[in-house]
């Protein structure tokens, strides 16, 4: 019975949605969320999620690669119809754009250079003490930047365009620590070596710092009620039938779908 209900829900989404073309903005520099493969194609968790949403709402979607800090401004001026790029839902952003129901909820980590005493931190408050006046790297325009600015007021905040730049500056000794989603750190730590980069303290979520938001959602322009309804329906059905869980396990090897 449950499977029949889900199948009927898919049919409703497909027939109720009028055929439309949607432009999706993403910042394809954040694997495994999204990146560009050897053939120049955008790939990753968000790409698979977005393609499945488009399929379920019967939309034709074109993806556009854009620097992260330009995604939401681009959405506001009509450059994109949607932004799917691991964007965390928080109050500040929700004043400017609308969000779908959250489809994922990703944990975050502080990483430091090997040998750093920060590795001994057991809690978020320990990290705040250890890094009170440290140089901390974050990607510009992210919730990670918001977390550091709000909770590490005396830190020397360094902003970067790309995650790999943070990792390289850590190894070079130009910064003391960096904050990103754990899934974004994993390939960087693996590539550069666990003997050079170490995880410091516990996994961090909105329970530790509210600026992390309420999970990751699809962003769209304010007042797009019909479009939001379609996308919410697709996201909820994908959570219910395990599609997002399967996509997450493909790219991350664990489930980060929103519970």
Given a cut of 50, is residue 7 above it in pLDDT? no
Chain CA centroid to CA 216, Å? 6
- Structure token pair of residue 154: 């005396």
Per-residue pLDDT reduced to its tens digit, 201-243 = 999 988 899 999 899 999 999 999 999 999 999 999 999 999 9
Q: In this predicted structure, what is the pLDDT of residue 19?
A: 57
Per DSSP, the three-state class of 120 is: helix
The whole-number average pLDDT for the span 247-255 is 92
Q: Find the largest Cα–Cα distance for the chain.
A: 59
Q: Could you tell me which residues are beta bridge partners of residue 82?
A: 24, 220
Q: Which of 1-5, 167-171, 191-195, 216-220 has the lowest mean pLDDT?
A: 1-5
Q: Which domains does the chain have, with CATH numbers?
A: 2-105+215-252 (3.40.190.10), 108-212 (3.40.190.10)
pLDDT in tens, 136-169: 999 998 999 999 999 999 999 999 999 999 999 9
How large is the C-alpha radius of gyration of the chain?
19
pLDDT tens for each residue of 173-191: 999 999 999 988 999 999 9
Helices (H) and strands (E) in the chain, counts: 10, 12
As a whole number of angstroms, the distance between CA 172 and CA 169 comes to: 5
Quick one: DSSP state of residue 63?
A: E
Please give the angle made by the CA atoms of 224, 230 and 232, to the nearest 5 degrees: 95
Per-residue confidence band for 17, with pLDDT thresholds at 50, 70 and 90: very low
- CA gap 218, 26 in Å, rounded: 11
Model pTM score:
0.72
Mean model confidence pLDDT for the chain: 91
User: What gap in Å lies between CA 186 and CA 192, rounded to an integer?
Assistant: 10
For residue 87, what are the contacts with CB-CB under 8 A and spacing of at least 6? 71, 72, 93, 99, 216, 217, 218, 219
Confidence grade of residue 64 (pLDDT, cut at 50, 70, 90): very high
pLDDT at 8: 39
- Packing angle between helix 45-56 and helix 225-240, nearest 10 degrees? 110
- Which alpha helices (H) appear in the chain, and where do they start and end? 2-16, 45-56, 71-76, 91-94, 124-130, 143-151, 163-172, 182-192, 225-240, 243-252
Strands 177-181 and 108-113 come out as antiparallel
């Amino acid at each position: 019975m449950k499977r029949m209900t889900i199948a009927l829900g898919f049919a409703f989404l497909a027939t109720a949605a009028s055929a439309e073309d949607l432009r999706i903005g993403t910042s394809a520099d954040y694997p495994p969320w999204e990146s560009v493969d050897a053939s120049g194609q955008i790939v990753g968790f968000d790409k698979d999620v977005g393609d499945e949403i488009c399929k379920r709402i019967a939309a034709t979607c074109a993806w556009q690669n854009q620097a992260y800090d330009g995604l939401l401004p681009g959405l506001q001026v009509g450059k994109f119809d949607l932004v799917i790029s691991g964007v965390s839902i928080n109050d500040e952003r929700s004043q400017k754009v609308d969000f779908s129901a959250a489809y994922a909820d990703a944990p975050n980590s502080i990483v430091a250079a090997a040998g750093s005493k920060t590795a001994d931190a057991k809690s978020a408050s320990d990290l705040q003490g250890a890094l009170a006046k440290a140089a901390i790297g974050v990607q510009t325009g992210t919730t990670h930047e918001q977390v550091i600015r709000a909770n590490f007021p005396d830190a020397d905040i360094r902003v970067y365009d790309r995650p790999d730049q943070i990792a390289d500056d850590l190894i070079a000794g130009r910064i003391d620590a960096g904050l990103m989603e754990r899934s974004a750190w994993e390939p960087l730590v693996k590539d550069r070596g666990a003997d050079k980069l170490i995880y410091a303290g516990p996994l961090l979520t909105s329970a530790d710092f509210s600026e992390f938001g309420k999970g990751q959602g699809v962003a769209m322009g304010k007042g797009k009620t019909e479009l939001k309804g379609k996308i919410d329906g697709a996201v909820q059905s994908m959570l219910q039938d395990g599609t997002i869980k399967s996509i997450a396990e493909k790219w991350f090897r664990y489930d980060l779908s929103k519970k």
